[in-house]
Structure 1
Amino acid sequence: MESVSTTPAALRRAVREWPDRPALVDTQWNTPVEYTWSQLHDRVVEVAAALIASGIAHGDRVALWSPNSHHWPVAALGIHYAGGVLVPLNTRYTAGEAVDVIERSDARAVLVSGEFLGTDHAAELMTAHRGSMPDLVVRIALSDNRVPVDDAVDWDDFLSLATADTRAQAHARADAVAPDDLSDILFTSGTTGKSKGVLAEHRQTVAGSHAWGANGRLSPDDRYLMVNPYFHTFGYKAGILPCTLFGATMIPQAVYSPTEAMKHVAAQRITVFPGAPTIFQTILDEPARESVDLSSLRLVVTGASIVPVVLVERIQRDLGVDTVITAYGLTEASGFVSTCTPDDDDDTVANTCGRAFAGMEIALSEQGEVLARGKMVMRGYLDDEVATAETIDADGWLHTGDIGTLDERGNLTITDRLKDMYICGGFNVYPAEVEQTLARLDGVTESAVIGVPDERLGEVGRAYLTVRADAGLDADGVIAYAREHLANFKVPRSVVFVDAFPRNAAGKILKRELD
């Protein structure tokens, strides 16, 4: 296939290569939606033409605040087709947090969901924050409640703004999108402070999405279950865009539950299912799993946090998935730094994050910090030259903030976050090592370890655990198990059992909220 370096070019190629193949299937709503690549392209052009009719210019930023549905890929690709810059908003944001990103990114339009799971984000914005909104606010109706919101345009009415003239302009805009134009501004998870806007260009975005899809050997025969939120790189750049580049069918799921995910796999004959480690942990622990046909699955990809070795082993053994890939990335590299491959042996997949993606390099600093350089590294941070210079050095190396090791084959293993390390009695303790150990204790479903102050040792470990209802574990038993498997300075001195962990949208545990 011809190479492309912008998302409009990728979509046009998809239409040429697979015009009548399924592009998107969304059965979540009262009226199911199925698009071929030709039909998806037509809807994208319609969005682009409506944006142009509404005064959106090349380079303008457009915010998108909505859960996974057929509207999201259509809207995102439509923004790009019109030459705009996509600003995805975290669906877990409060209205105030959403307004902060809308204002910081100088968005000229907002596409926002109506009533969904008892919340109407469009109504929230237009009721309490009208003065902070741009002129164009489009309400995406996801339920049967189509009561209009003052000063917001209904999705269907918005699309009707497209004319023959603005459709022609849309095609011209798509022609004009350059590889070094901004494709999106994604805001970081903010696990250690205020989120930053990451500026990514089309060439960076497409390079990463192509490398991800090629590594997973995606094809038009694949059916991709999308539980990862579209506003995150895992759902957008490792989901929507690889499908566009390789012709796989997108099947969105707006609200994750293990039972609904398994139903989708069985009914839609899903072949590709990426997700955060917690996704697969819940499926493996679901009592109804053995009664559901999951045999169509060929590829599971997980990442987004430290992955317990035992989880990879269970996905392979208990779900019967032929290929499990672990990967590592961060928003500042479009989500793509390193990956295992389908040809890697089980030990490599279980114990490493693989080697650098095509187009990327990996190195370690003297302190063991993981450095990344290459095609996927961001342009910089929005309106923050100081933070950009602190993160990307003069030689182009992106400083990730993660600690890792590289083996003789170039396989990367993430041992911890640089900021998570604590010192116990003069010894460095990396919580990820302790968490990996606790993950093998029968009954533990997930763990998080932090350092807490101690008068004698400076800091000692505290383990937070979620456990199965029938586990029968207590703190003394957990500590005794840790002593069997870890040096004394690594053993947690206290254990806290929790029902659930505080998380960001990527599924990462917010450790700062545990202490």
Structure 2
Amino acid sequence: MAKTEHRMTIHDSGWQFSTLPALVARAAEVYGNDPAIEDGGTKLSFVEFDQLRRKIAKAFMASGIEKGDRVMIWSPNTWKWFAAAMGLVSAGGVLIPTSTRFKGSEVHDLASRSGARMLLSCGEFLGKYYPEMLSPETRGLLKEIVVFDGAKETETPWDEFIARGETISDEALAEREASIGPDDMCDMLFTSGTTGYPKGVMYRHLQCLRTIDAWATRVGVQRGDRLLVIPPFFHAFGYRSGAIVSIMRGATLIPHLTYDADEILKRVENEKISVIPGPPTIFHGMLQHPELEKFDRSSLRLGVTGGAVVPSTLIRRMRETLGFEGVVNGYGLTECGGYGTMCSADDPDDVIANTAGKPFPDTEVRIMDADGNLLPDGEAGEVVIRGYLTMNGYFNDPEGTAKTIDKNGWLHTGDIGYFDENGNLRIEDRVKDLYICGGFNCYPAEIERLMSAHPAVGQIAVIGIPDERMGEVGKAYVVLRPGTSATAEELIGWARENIANYKVPRYVEFMDALPTSVQGKVQKDVLRAMNK
């Protein structure tokens, strides 16, 4: 089959590429000996990183990985994770990032449904040797298990894996890379599975690069930035908006293992971090630190958030309290590569605080009603997306794909929103999070935004719970700001004075911390389960 001849031009460099291996190779030429990755004692320039991903690509080829073969990586954020990923796609393999929260049975399900041939894993992490969680049945599905550090006799050590690549010539690698086209699949990120079993979102080389470039241009990531990547690499936010964008823009990638506000603030001070991408909970945690003012935060330039409805209070506090020069907010989902709409770095504060910005160039984002009619600006309905950023479907799931992408090519997000008079998207909530109180539609995200204006509210999550008289009523889970106090009665009374009566939560429960996924999103299903 003839390869597609599409090429794309990087916004600020003027160089072209169509695949991930071409990106890394060209980044080495453009950015040279600038620092590409810093991870503890490991420091790699762009030239050194390109040399390393070539060695790893040869190792995959020597291990029998053919173009199109699927390989899982099951590890927290480290330089080896990203180097392995770029080596894999350079050998024509398809990356399957695997959550470190997964247990053995979940990894088995992923391996079985994806048809993965190989697994790369961490060794000891959080007190567990990860490969020991795998059943004999899972091991039987996999050709090999490579362990990054501390491999036991039943697995292949990383260094041994790398060394086997010496049997592959430069010419053989060049031939393999030449066979990889822009429309070939580069990865499958599996959805979180909150609405059923996780689904494998198929994504291709060119659409991945084109989407990341549009995002990086919109938010303003620059050469020389130092990105502390806290969201896990197995999630689109960490992998694309952290790792790949660093290679693309000439920034330094600084992986972070586990979320801890104290450790993050220390790294900001000691490693002169300039950019932090992440969901709102990361910034909430930093703001909640009782000794925030003792840390030097003067290096912070850009805070990039999204992945949830973001209260305007948080945007203001990121600027005024954390000291970010710029803050941008956006909206996206895995089925669109992790993207959708985004504010610009030079948007006014009120736009950044209250909207998810505008669609990317050459993409369509519209609002649709339940009957499939597109709605005018100002009317709320389901957000639908069409364009180069939408997935190529769910792997081996044509029925699920057809339910998500309609016959006209619109991808249905399941999110409620509307466009304001300036063409900026405002997200109201998830369809499934909506609850109906006394006949009125209640959007928890809106209530969370409104109640976040209370001076004692540090973080809040609202759910609907059954009520015999009203059908459903709201319940708010609240984490107080350090040094403040409030009672449930006080918060409810304040809400009655500032919010429409039907939106006022009937109950308030205080927590030390909200339950969150490893991606940093509040787990409302956990909160709902507490009320059954």
Q: Would the TM-score normalized by the shorter structure come out above 0.5?
A: yes
1:81 aligns with 2:90: yes
**Partner SS for 1:462:** strand
Flag the 1:436–1:344 CA change in 2: closer, same or farther, 3 A: same
**Partner SS for 1:229:** coil
1:382 aligns with 2:385: no
**Residue in 2 aligned with 1:207?**
210
The separation in 2 between residues aligned to 1:112 and 1:154, in whole angstroms, is 10
1:488 aligns with 2:504: no
Question: 1:220-231 residue pairs with structure 2 within 5 A?
Answer: 220-231=223-234
Unaligned runs of 5+ in 2: 1-13, 371-380
**Partner SS for 1:332:** helix
Deviations 1:347-387 (A, max 9, x none): 00000000012232210002500111111100001111111
Deviations 1:104-155 (A, max 9, x none): 1111110000012211112322x655544412110111xxxx3x42331001
**Residue in 1 aligned with 2:415?**
402
Question: 1:373-452 residue pairs with structure 2 within 5 A?
Answer: 373-452=386-465
1:68 aligns with 2:77: yes
Aligned residue type for 2:383? V
**Partner SS for 1:448:** strand
- More divergent stretch after superposition (272-281 vs 157-166): 157-166
Question: Which of 39, 47, 70 is equivalent to 2:48?
Answer: 39
Question: 1:316-327 residue pairs with structure 2 within 5 A?
Answer: 316-327=319-330
Question: 1:137-156 residue pairs with structure 2 within 5 A?
Answer: 137-141=145-149, 146=150, 148-156=151-159
**Partner SS for 1:514:** helix
**Residue in 2 aligned with 1:93?**
102
**Residue in 2 aligned with 1:306?**
309
CA contact (8 A) 2:419 2:425 kept: yes
Flag the 1:97–1:411 CA change in 2: closer, same or farther, 3 A: same
Question: Which of 319, 329, 340 is equivalent to 2:343?
Answer: 340
The separation in 1 between residues aligned to 2:468 and 2:272, in whole angstroms, is 57
1:366 aligns with 2:366: no
**Partner SS for 1:381:** coil
Deviations 1:285-322 (A, max 9, x none): 21332222211111110011111110001011112222
Aligned residue type for 2:98? L
- Identity rate, percent: 43
In the TM superposition, residue 165 of structure 1 has moved relative to its aligned partner by 2.6
Deviations 1:480-510 (A, max 9, x none): 1111111111111112223333322322222
In the TM superposition, residue 433 of structure 1 has moved relative to its aligned partner by 1.1
In the TM superposition, residue 410 of structure 1 has moved relative to its aligned partner by 1.3
**Partner SS for 1:107:** coil
**Partner SS for 1:161:** helix
Structure 2-normalised TM-score?
0.92
Deviations 1:55-90 (A, max 9, x none): 100000000001111101100101100000000001
CA contact (8 A) 1:271 1:299 kept: yes
CA contact (8 A) 1:81 1:171 kept: no
- More divergent stretch after superposition (492-501 vs 92-101): 492-501
Question: Which of 463, 476, 480 is equivalent to 1:467?
Answer: 480
The separation in 2 between residues aligned to 1:37 and 1:172, in whole angstroms, is 23
The separation in 2 between residues aligned to 1:481 and 1:102, in whole angstroms, is 51
In the TM superposition, residue 250 of structure 1 has moved relative to its aligned partner by 0.5
In the TM superposition, residue 217 of structure 1 has moved relative to its aligned partner by 2.5
The separation in 2 between residues aligned to 1:199 and 1:243, in whole angstroms, is 22
Aligned residue type for 1:139? V
Deviating 4+ runs (over 3 angstroms): 127-133, 468-471
The separation in 2 between residues aligned to 1:340 and 1:130, in whole angstroms, is 43
Flag the 1:214–1:371 CA change in 2: closer, same or farther, 3 A: same
**Partner SS for 1:434:** helix
**Partner SS for 2:55:** helix
CA contact (8 A) 1:189 1:505 kept: no
In the TM superposition, residue 262 of structure 1 has moved relative to its aligned partner by 1.8
How many equivalent residue pairs? Answer: 505
1:21 aligns with 2:34: yes
CA contact (8 A) 1:280 1:315 kept: yes
Unaligned runs of 5+ in 1: none
The separation in 2 between residues aligned to 1:132 and 1:310, in whole angstroms, is 51
**Residue in 1 aligned with 2:4?**
none
CA contact (8 A) 1:188 1:331 kept: yes
1:117 aligns with 2:131: no
Structure 1-normalised TM-score?
0.95
